[in-house]
Amino acid sequence: MIKKFEFVDSGRTFACCVEAPLQSRPELWWWFSVSTDDRHRYAPFEAAASDTQAGVRKRIIAYYESLLAARARPAANPWRRPDPKIAAAAAALAASGAAPAVTPVVAEVAATTK
């Protein structure tokens, strides 16, 4: 099993290693840190004897890209309700069968109000 390696992707250096999360827990996890994020280390998945460097690299990049995308999204506000006028207008357009030029958000609202 690979224990430690580094790689560069999109100008970021990823340092990866296998460690136990706590001394009291026997399972091993893949931990990684990123050169552009010096405050955090991540342990996204358990290590397996069959892990290859290429496979781990692919999974770590996918995990980190997903994390960056989630951070970039605006925070959901549970107290904000959708505007009923926009939803009603979108539903009326959808029911009429017209193909208006609407944004994806309005189209999504129309689809969920049926």
Which pTM was predicted? 0.63
Query: At residue 5, does pLDDT exceed 60?
Result: yes
Question: Domain residue spans in the chain?
Answer: 4-72, 77-114
- Show Cβ contacts of residue 56 under 8 Å, excluding neighbours closer than 6 positions: 2, 5, 16, 30
Give the pLDDT confidence of 53-73 residue by residue, as tens digits.
999 999 999 999 999 999 898
Q: What angle do CA 88, 94, 100 make, to 5 degrees?
A: 105
Count other Cβ atoms within 10 Å, centred on residue 14.
21
Q: What is the pLDDT of residue 47?
A: 93
- Show Cβ contacts of residue 61 under 8 Å, excluding neighbours closer than 6 positions: 9, 14
